[in-house]
Structure 1
Amino acid sequence: MAQMWTACRWFGLISAPSSHHCIITMKPHYLPFLLLTFGKAISTSQAAPPVNIDSLVATAVDKNPERLHYIAQIEAAYATFKSSGKLANPELGTQIGRKTSQDGSFRAEGAAWSVSLSQTFEWPGRIGLRKAIANKDLELAQLGLQQFTAALTARVRTLAFKTFAGKERETAAREVADRFQSLREVLVQRDSAGLTPKLELRVIEATTLTLRRQAADTALEQKKSLIELNLLLGRPAGNELAIQAPAFALVRLPPQNQLMKLARAHNFEMKIKTAELEQQGFHVALRKNERFPAITVSPMYSQEKAGATDRIVGVGISIPLPLWNRNEANLATSQAKQRQAEAMLRAATIDLEKDIAIAAATYDARREEIGDWKPESIDAFREAAALADKHYRQGAVASAIYLELQQKYLDAVDTLLSAKAEAMEARLHLEELTGSSLDLSKTSTFKKAAR
């Protein structure tokens, strides 16, 4: 409204203002500016609508700057793969000089020169092994991008729910703190003769301060989650963001053996460890192949002219003799790394089974806990807290019951939101571990319970 008043006064659209009304004089040539100013004032006064978590995930995947690192890795690995199957460049050699020929009293001089072209041919199978190794590098780079995208998706969902839950906790804490503050102002105005009213007033004041601190701490935690979320979305850290109440299905999980089957087939860490083991197998085969020499073929032509002209055309072949170095050290190193890759794959399988068991147990425990809640439970606690406040002011409810009910309302909100957060984190972790979607987007019957 301040923008509207200033614009009207500046362009003479308002005259003779009073405390209750003003006279508006319409000037047509100022009408477009006035409409623009009014529209801006109205649009800035409206809060941004809540954002769906799925849209946040899509934005993060599209704009997160760290993905560029993995994309660049894929491009580098692809460039290496394209060049891995090519032969070494041929070498061109030339020689030029002067020849002197003498036979008794006969002496002749002339130019002498030669040219050769050398091409090295690898032992059969060597180039194919190098291509296989480069192909595994490309596969590992692609798996790295997929793994990062999955981790980014889970992190955005987790932070979005933490931001939403923090806002809900802060709202509930401020609601009760405002209620206590209002009650304190009423009690101060009353006649507080006697010890009990004074003590009750002090309890109300102390509880108000505690709740204010609780609301401030909750707001700080919510702000921390929002800052990290904004950075993952590629936005300024201080951007405000309203998030819709998330919904996810509290369905039963598949049996653990089925989860492990999914994980062995789709888990990114298992895929990476398997690809690394296969790549080490190619390295071992390459080192064995490198014990056999490469062959260099060198066709050549030379000409010498000293009296007579001599021309030579031939082909040279050179093969290194493996007398002192048979590539045994490199072979032993590659075999040791292959054994390491096998051990890492076995260890990753054990860790994967442990992580799946813990995440599934956590999800089932929180799912059972949330199942005990009714959709209207939070609303019922909120209404009971408000009703207790009303009757306490009338003297119909004891202070102990009043204080306990207000605290239990806050505890109920925190308990439900914490259970939902742990269930969501466990479910998202299971999705990462199994590399499969577990239908998190289905509507939960408890969607309204946290509001």
Structure 2
Amino acid sequence: MFVLRAAPLGALCVLLVVSAMGQPATAGTSSLPVPPPALQAAIRDLWGKNPQIQAAEANLRAAHERARAAAQPVYNPSLQLDGENADVDRRTAGASLTLDVFGKRKARATQGDAEVRAQEAAFVVERRDVAHDWLKAWSGVALTREQIALGQRRLELMRRFDTLAGQRLKVGDISSTERDLAGLALGEAQIQQASLDAQQAEALAALAALGGEVEGALPDLPQDLPPLAATIVPALAADRPELRQAQAEQERADAAVTVADRNRRPDPTISLTGGQVRSGPRTDRVVGVSVSMPIPLRNSGRYDVSAARADADAAYASRRATELRSNARIKQAQSTYAAMRAASEGFRQGRAGAFDERAALLDKLWQAGEISTSDYLIQLKQSLDTALSGIALESQTWQAWFDYLAAAGRLTEWVDGNSKEASP
């Protein structure tokens, strides 16, 4: 660390607060549930095909090669052959080598190793982010699929209602205005169903953009809700991929300062020359040794070192910012998920989702003449909107669960079906 760095103090605010939520767990063992095998297979297939992951893998290979290159000797030897025909004939051969006396090779190797660690963390982050994006897109597809099924039920009810309204108009049980309401309701249901089909196409396109399989049968959302947030222990800060990457970037920047400092120090070059010199009838053997060293007068390299130190300070600040964002993201994601899960659980325990029962009851009341056509449509629409909202709420709960796993550094672990122990 090359300048005085002070970490800011402050408190992070929780964005959503629910009374049922406890404090985030910081110690103990978390047991992650096992995702459906079809879901695991789909994500693993995605990891093998996604171009972003392929690019991250190529970057990692390049970092390994650069690290190998940095670990090689800094200087190569030079060979020199001289010959001269004059009053004195000279034939000499020489070799020279610049010596790395200030540890340039070691400094560059340290920098290369830090870059490898940064690229390894970047690869893990990319796999996590791609899986996270795919899971959220998949839950969107599952949502539209359930909404389309419910919308199809609505279409069937509206068609039947429209037919019955036409029959009742003929016998004078309802007015022509009420008959028109039935026709308008059917038209609106058809428009809404087309909108749901468009939403499904958009969700499938989001999956296809990630490179995963969309033609096969995608698994449905699990029937049970995800576990409580308090049962999942977030990974330690040092184990979170984005923080590991930021730490490695800081170490690489610190190593770059050492590299710049070593580069500004000139290394000596040792030369050895041997041969023979002939002057008339006399021939002499000659051996020479010389040492040369550049003099850093015009360019001392100090500005390169200053720039590297500034980069190191920026990398340190970036790591601190990443740590603060990561901690805040965990709290926000946990609060959001706890709120969504509590709402979904409450919705399941109530009668708000019993759409078919209410639809059948409303149909009986309307046919019995106990409610008007407008009342029937208003209540049916309210029941349908509530059922659709319940489906959307469960999908949002699963998306919030994926957000929390990603923020806690446990998403890839969940996909792999593994669990780890986390302790402070």
- Taking structure 2 as the reference length, what is the TM-score of the superposition? 0.81
Taking a change above 3 Å as real, the CA distance of residues 389 and 438 of structure 1, as seen in their structure-2 partners, is: farther
The residue aligned with 1:290 is: 263
Match of 1:148 among 126, 134, 141: 126
Kept in 1, the 8 Å contact 2:178–2:374? The answer is no
Percent of aligned positions that are identical: 20
The aligned counterpart of 2:253 is: 280
Is residue 223 from structure 1 mapped to residue 196 from structure 2 by the alignment?
no
Which of structure 1's runs of 4+ aligned residues deviate more than 6 A? 438-441
Which shifted more, 364-373 or 417-426?
417-426
Partner Cα separation in structure 1 for residue 158 and residue 355 of structure 2:
17
Q: 2:114 aligns with which of 121, 136, 142?
A: 136
Give the superposition deviation at 1:172.
Answer: 0.8
Q: Which residue of 67, 75, 90 corresponds with 1:112?
A: 90
Distance 1:255 1:348, change over 3 A: farther
1:245 aligns with 2:221: yes
Cα pair 1:52 1:244 within 8 Å, conserved: no
Deviation string, structure 1 residues 133-190 (Cα, Å, up to 9, x no partner): 0111111111111111001111111111110110111111121122112221232234
Cα-to-partner distance string for 1:37-62 (whole Å, 9 max, x where unaligned): xxxxxxxxxxxxx9932222121112
> Shift of residue 69 of structure 1?
0.9
Return closer, same or farther for 1:112/1:145 CA change in 2, 3 Å cut-off: same
Whole-angstrom distance in 2 between the partners of 1:163 and 1:125: 57
**Alignment of 1:425 onto 2:412:** no
- 2:61 matched residue in structure 1: 75
User: For the residues of structure 1 that align with 2:342 and 2:382, how far apart are their CA atoms?
Assistant: 21
List gaps (5 residues or longer) in structure 1: 1-49, 102-110, 442-451
Amino acid at match of 2:165: L
Do the aligned partners of 1:123 and 1:292 also contact (CA within 8 Å) in 2?
A: no
- SS of alignment partner, residue 222 of structure 1: helix
Q: Counterpart amino acid of 2:43? A: V
Q: CA deviation at 1:209?
A: 1.5
Contact 1:59 1:233 in 2 (8 A): no
After TM superposition, give the deviation of residue 342 of structure 1 in Å.
1.7
Give the C-alpha shift of residue 234 in structure 1: 4.4
Query: Cα offset for 1:315?
Result: 2.1
Aligned equivalents of 1:180 and 1:423: distance in 2?
30
SS in structure 1 at match of 2:84: strand
- Between 154-163 and 116-125, report the one with greater CA deviation: 116-125
How far apart are 1:100 and its partner, in Å?
1.1
Offset at residue 416 of structure 1 (A): 1.8
- For 1:240 and 1:201, locate their aligned partners in 2 and report how far apart those are by CA, in whole Å: 43
Q: Which amino acid aligns with 1:295?
A: P
How much has 1:73 moved relative to structure 2? 0.9
1:399 aligns with 2:377: no
SS of residue paired to 2:87 = strand
Q: Per the alignment, in what secondary structure is the counterpart of residue 124 of structure 1?
A: coil
**Which residue identity is paired with 1:290?**
N
- Pair 1:301 & 2:274 matched: yes
For the Cα contact (< 8 Å) 2:102–2:267, is it kept in 1? no
User: Is the counterpart of residue 98 in structure 1 residue 85 in structure 2?
Assistant: yes
Mean alpha-carbon deviation: is it higher for 65-74 or for 141-150?
65-74
Task: Identify which of 217, 242, 254 aligns with 2:230.
Answer: 254
CA contact (8 A) 1:129 1:282 kept: yes
Structure scoring higher RCO (CA < 8 A, sep ≥ 6) equals 2
Query: Which amino acid in structure 1 is aligned with residue 78 of structure 2?
Result: E
1:218-242 CA distances to partner (integer Å, 9 max, x unpaired)?
111111111221342445x7x3644
Q: In structure 2, how many angstroms separate the alpha carbons of the residues matched to 1:288 and 1:51?
A: 54
Residue from 150, 153, 158 that aligns with 1:180:
158
Q: Give the Å deviation of 1:319.
A: 1.2
Q: Which residue of 2 aligns with 1:58?
A: 44
Q: Which runs of 5+ in 2 are unaligned?
A: 1-35, 416-424
User: What CA distance in whole angstroms lies between the structure 2 residues aligned with 1:51 and 1:183?
Assistant: 42
Alignment partner of 1:123: what SS? Answer: coil
Partner of 1:23: none
Contact 2:63–2:119 (8 Å) recurs in 1: yes
Which residue is equivalent to 1:189?
167
SS of residue in 1 equivalent to 2:175: helix
Q: What whole-Å deviation, never above 9, does each CA across 1:293-313 have from its counterpart, x for those lacking one? A: 212122211322232222212
1:327 is aligned to 301
Q: Deviation digits for residues 322-372 of structure 1, max 9, x if unmatched? A: 223221100110111111112212222222233222212211111110121
Instruction: Find the aligned partners of 2:165 and 2:202 in 1 and give their Cα distance.
Output: 37
